[in-house]
Structure 1
Amino acid sequence: MDRRQQRRAAHGHKQFAPGRVATPWLALLAGPLSYGIAAPALLLDDLAQTLGIGEKGATAGVTAYGWGIALGTPLLAALLARRGVRAVLTVSAALLVAGTLVLVLVPSLPAMMAGAAVQALGSAGLTVTAMKLADSARQMGVVAASLAVVGATGPLTGALVADISTWQAALALPLLAVLAVPAARRGTTAPDAVPASFDPIGMALLAMLVTAAVLIPHRPLVAAPATAALLLLLIAWINFRPDGFLPAAVARNGRFLAASALAFALGVMNFALLYAAPTLLQRLAGWDSTRSGIVLLAPYLLGGFCSAFLVAASVRVSRRVAVAALLATGAAAPLLAATTTAAAPLLAATTTAVLLLLAAMTLASLSASTGQGVLALHATGVVSASHRAEALGLFNLAYLLSVAFGPAIALMLSHPTA
């Protein structure tokens, strides 16, 4: 083992298998998932008016997408571990196409929610596959950055596509990931699956737990107790069947759980600010949604591009230093945003308030996108190679659950009576 390998082992980073897929294809395979999260950010009013459902109903479509990627990540990761990359690529692409067709062809709230959920299942499968195929910290950084950069351009891209075409076309943007599927299939030549028995009970318990957790922001009095009860049932099932759908070697790993919890917290903060931004900028500066979308490119693109370099550089510092930096940056973002919003009437110029708010959003984007890549390396580096696919799926489940919470929290804060 050379010195570089020794340093990485000391920091808890797992050595990846030899690379098989070029980095740009991995970025294209993963990145469009963020269109499903961010593209509707400036379209909620249009969706509400077109479908006659109100802004809360329009937000339900984003919540359904968040549910789909949160649930689809561990499900497709389990398929990845048991059937290999090519099987997951085929299933995920089919789900993505089917969900997009429903979104485009059936303009109604039930169809929007169902289509978004199915579309998200496919997007989640392609994203977790891209992370599985990343063979280095550099490639993992590019994958995480692609998600952040697409998320940064998502609101404006969605608004522009909706202006040129329709809002259905804007919601179809995640379909772009299918373009990378042939290249990913060609690059996958070696057997990469580990045969394992099927665990329908474990899968069902996890699916119900994710569903209950996603509903907490909307029905807390019912969903919160249900989530707690299902979590206890799932823990009991893991003890009964430690080699099942949710491997005990992953679920009981304290360092894995800590990395996943921090990723979730950073994601909630980032997506809440992303969806609150148009309302906050309208209140502070009177900007419309298009201008807000253009201005928001700066903080979120900066955070996304910087994350690629920071993730790659993270292998040179200790785990504690990396986590401390993420904690500090992640905590500073909402504090700065809240302070700026509260003190806006006292500030001498509107420009000052806007700049401070954009600085908060830059910190949010930087901490979340960097955290997804850095913490994914940490989370998969503390489990055995045989459980890496499941660990990636569960880690991304934790991060992507924030997609369901962030927009709902932003709506509650900006419209307390909605």
Structure 2
Amino acid sequence: MSAAPTTRRTADAPIAPAWLALLAGPLSFGITGPTLVLAEIARDLGVSLVGAASVVTAFGWGIAVGTPLAGGLLARRGLRTALVVAALLVAAGAVLVIAVPVLAVLVVGTALQALGAAGFTVVAMSIAGSAAAMGTVTASLAVLGSIAPLVGSQVAAAWGWPVALVMPVLALLAVPAVLRAGTSGGRQAGRFDLAGAILLVAWVTALVMLTHSPVAAAVAALALTALLAWHVRRRPAGFVPVELVRAPRFLVASGLALALAVVNFGIVYAAPAMVTDLTGWTSGQLGLALLWPYLGGGAVSWFLVSGSARLSFPVWVATLAAGAVAAPAIVAFGNGSVALLFAGMAIGSLAASTGNGALALWAGAAVPQAVRPTAMGLFTLFYLLGAAFGPVLAALAVG
């Protein structure tokens, strides 16, 4: 995971990159941390695996809509307000999850945590004043995402699965250090496009609900797409700038990023059950085994993204699309082989990690400089929608 929207730095004093990593990285615990404990959650709550996966869907929804909303709050109210609001959301969500562990409340609590975690990530990337600091932030997201299944299973075994669901709260440890650094600076002028923000949130919500109520959500999504398109024409400089919808390369990059994320997060949740059926490994053994394909994919992707300028956009699209097709095919048809399952995981991780970085560069270059921060926020929205779709599709696939 990478490429949250960036803004002009507004901090009064430099902040150690380690604090930025601690602020942003725990978001990954909410996405992949429940991987190995969903069956336990389903059993304890008396719901299906698909029902239990709704807590992950809620987190995916929260970070998807929270990223552009946090960017708007940051631009208009400053870093301090954005940071405090994010902290309150994460804390409130964690309290709900721990205090009332029933499915409906868990969905609300994880969604609140996700909204706050998205805000933390936006703040961390806005403060990162150098390439090294930015690299530390993005690396923390990838590394913690890789170890989150193992950590989540161990935390659940020691203290119960509700504690595993509130791991994003670790980001609160960085809040005092960031607040002490000071967050003065300019704020974006102009009236906030509230109608555009509401339409975007409603549209994303309808898309997320496609996996739960396909017919109703599809009708709502189509209607909201028409309303959002009308609003963009009526207010071309609003929450969704018209330059973005008129940039084919931006749209292709965002759509492919969504597909890669759906594949990757779907495999993250589907493959462990398949591996367990073949090996009989415990959750701890499985968590250790899962480290290698995801850490390896993330590490190799750093080199590929660094050299992304050497390949043309059509070549990147074709290559990444091939990865998006190959990874689930290998997992689906290689269910009798542990080696093939791990190969599918590694390819899915590599394609998603590389695509997120490389496609973000192309998406940003496809739009005018004035709307580039907004473009990065909306590009990230599409990628993070994969965190909402993938787990539910995986639960449907494995039963």
What is the TM-score normalised by the length of structure 1?
0.86
CA distance in structure 1 between the aligned counterparts of 2:329 and 2:310, rounded to whole angstroms: 29
Of 359, 375, 385, which residue of structure 1 is paired with 2:343?
Answer: 359
For 1:61 and 1:206, the matched residues in 2 are separated by: 21
Tell me the residue number matched to 2:381: 397
Aligned AA for 2:350?
L
Q: In the TM superposition, what whole-angstrom CA distance separates every residue of 1:76-121 from its partner, at most 9, and x where no partner exists?
A: 1111222233322221111111111111121211211110010000
- CA–CA distance in 2 between the matches of 1:133 and 1:365? 28
Sequence identity of aligned pairs in percent?
48
In structure 1, the residue matched to 2:214 is 220
Q: 1:183 to 1:322 in 2, by over 3 A?
A: farther
**1:307 counterpart residue number:** 301
Could you tell me which residue of structure 1 aligns to residue 357 of structure 2? 373
Which residues of 2 match residues 91-102 of structure 1 at below 5 A? 91-102=85-96
The count of aligned residue pairs is 392
Structure 1 partner of 2:58: 64
Q: Report the residue type matching 1:151 in the other structure.
A: G
1:334 equivalent in structure 2: 328
1:284/1:192 Cα in 2 relative to 1: closer, same or farther (>3 Å)?
Answer: farther
Aligned to 1:40, the other structure's residue is in SS state: coil
Larger deviation, residues 134-143 vs 264-273? 134-143
Does the C-alpha gap of structure 1 residues 203 and 17 become closer, same or farther in structure 2, counting only changes over 3 Å?
Answer: closer
Letter aligned with residue 363 of structure 2: A
Task: Read off the aligned partner of 2:261 and give its amino acid letter.
Answer: G
Q: In structure 1, which of residues 189, 197, 204 is the aligned counterpart of residue 191 of structure 2?
A: 197
TM-score by length of 2: 0.90
- State the partner residue of 1:348: none
User: Per-residue deviation at 1:331?
Assistant: 3.0
1:2-401 alignment to 2 at 5 Å?
A: 20-135=14-129, 139-185=133-179, 191-315=185-309, 318-341=312-335, 344=336, 353-401=337-385
Q: Secondary structure at the match of 1:42?
A: coil
Letter in 1 for 2:166: A
Equivalent position SS for 2:156: helix
RMSD, aligned α-carbons: 2.5
User: Runs of 5+ in structure 1 lacking a partner?
Assistant: 1-13, 345-352
Q: Mean alpha-carbon deviation: is it higher for 284-293 or for 192-201?
A: 284-293
CA contact (8 A) 1:148 1:303 kept: no
In structure 1, how many angstroms separate the alpha carbons of the residues matched to 2:22 and 2:372? 22
Which has the higher mean CA deviation after the structures are superposed, 43-52 or 99-108?
Answer: 43-52
2:257/2:352 contact within 8 Å kept = yes
Is contact 2:8-2:126 (8 Å) kept? no
Rounded to whole Å, the distance in 1 between the matches of 2:28 and 2:84 is: 20
Contact 1:21 1:184 in 2 (8 A): yes
1:7 match:
none
